[in-house]
Amino acid sequence: MSIEEKQKPQRNDRVTIRTVATHAGVSVAAVSKVMRNAYGVSDALRARVTDAIEALAYRPSRAARGLRGRSFTIGVLLIDIRNPFLPEVIAGVNGVLAPSHYQAMIGVSDARVQLETSLIESMIDYKMDGLILVAPRLPSEILAKFAVQIPIVAVGYHDASATAFDTVNADDQRGAEIAVEALLACGYRDIEMLSLGERQGHAVSVVRQREIGFRRAMQRGGLGSSPAISKIPIASPKREEAMRKFLSRKDRPRAVFCWSDLDAITLLSLAMEMGVRVPEDLAVIGYDNSPTAALGLVNLASIDQSGRELGQVATRALISRIEGRTASEHIFQIPSLVSRNSLTRSGNSTDRQ
């Protein structure tokens, strides 16, 4: 136990695998084996090596690891850090990763395809062990091409036919159905959906899925074969303009289902401003159950897709893929309704105003 001084006169101060090896009196390869807990290591050897690692506070260089083998890092790609739903996903990922020896590194693509591509490439170049892409913008063929080089799990990306990578989703069709069913149960018949403007999102996007679910539930409720869906632009001046126009429409519906809380909350603000009472004049139901929706001031009913669970499930799927699974998996979570005052006065909170 003489942890006196390094025996060989090393002038470099970094503790490498070699330092550990000489300190423990074993070979470099042995230390490597212990760390990766590979086959063919006796308990005695393992003990000696772990003691040395402890004593020297040795940390393997991630860069060097990546050059040859595993880097024990997984990359997470976020489309947008502003959406309050995404932090939940991260929390889920970190939760699963914490007890393992993996770590997450996050990149933010800001919804730009260019940046998204280059971040994915960077993560590959870092020899990361796997990727979790949250609501990626890239088409499925491109993702499949990347998936050849690195295990990929896509979250919030509906392509159940993908064979090269896994997907993890809340069932967005079902979520929209639940919203419509809730509105119907409150007695509303004149229902419209506020969806996302044309150019955003291809067929695989969550928005389109919610539209499909909306249509199906409306038809099933006997409310016409082509229920009304309004498209709201995403950029800021036009967005509010479109909502104001909607609110002041003569034939404004009695209830509205918004594709996302972000839109629903802005709608609530504008409604208050324009004297449209919620829910007396207009019932509103959002999607995501973001923390803001839960505020007493806002009190927005919303569909809850547990971001945390999505993150957890995606991480487990990724790890199993890293460890050898090749058949693709496509996992669905079932979302649920959180009722609040914007749906009906008997929501679950006290009255406003």
Partner DNA sequence: GACGAGTTGTAGAACGTTCTCCATATAACG
Partner DNA sequence: CGTTATATGGAGAACGTTCTACAACTCGTC
- Closest to 295 (Cα-Cα) out of 272, 329, 265, 317: 265
Q: In whole angstroms, what separates CA 252 from the centre of its chain?
A: 34
Which one of DNA, a second copy, none is in contact with 319 (Cβ closer than 5 to 8 A by kind)?
none
Is 115 an interacting residue with respect to a second copy (CB under 8 A)? yes
Is 353 an interacting residue with respect to a second copy (CB under 8 A)? yes
Which one of DNA, a second copy, none is in contact with 35 (Cβ closer than 5 to 8 A by kind)?
DNA
CB nearer to a second copy: give 172 or 261: 261
Helix %, strand %, coil % of the chain (to 5): 40, 15, 40
DSSP 244: H
Element (H, E) at 56: helix 43-56
Task: Dig out the tokens for 353 from the structure.
Answer: 């105003």
Is 26 an interacting residue with respect to DNA (CB under 7 A)? yes
* Minimum CB distance to DNA, residue 11 (Å): 10
Task: Output the DSSP codes for 145-169.
Answer: HHHHHS-EEEES---TT-SSSEEEE
Contact positions with a second copy (CB under 8 A) in 297-316 = 297-298
Is 67 an interacting residue with respect to a second copy (CB under 8 A)? yes
Integer angstrom CA distances of residue 270 from 242, 312, 327: 11, 36, 48
Is 320 an interacting residue with respect to a second copy (CB under 8 A)? no
What whole-number distance in Å separates Cα of residue 315 and Cα of residue 103?
A: 11
Is 289 an interacting residue with respect to a second copy (CB under 8 A)? no
Is 60 an interacting residue with respect to DNA (CB under 7 A)? yes
The footprint of a second copy (CB under 8 A) covers: 59-64, 66-67, 71, 73, 81-82, 84, 86-87, 90-91, 94, 98, 103-108, 110, 115, 118-119, 121-122, 125-127, 265-266, 268-270, 272-273, 291-292, 295-298, 349-350, 352-353
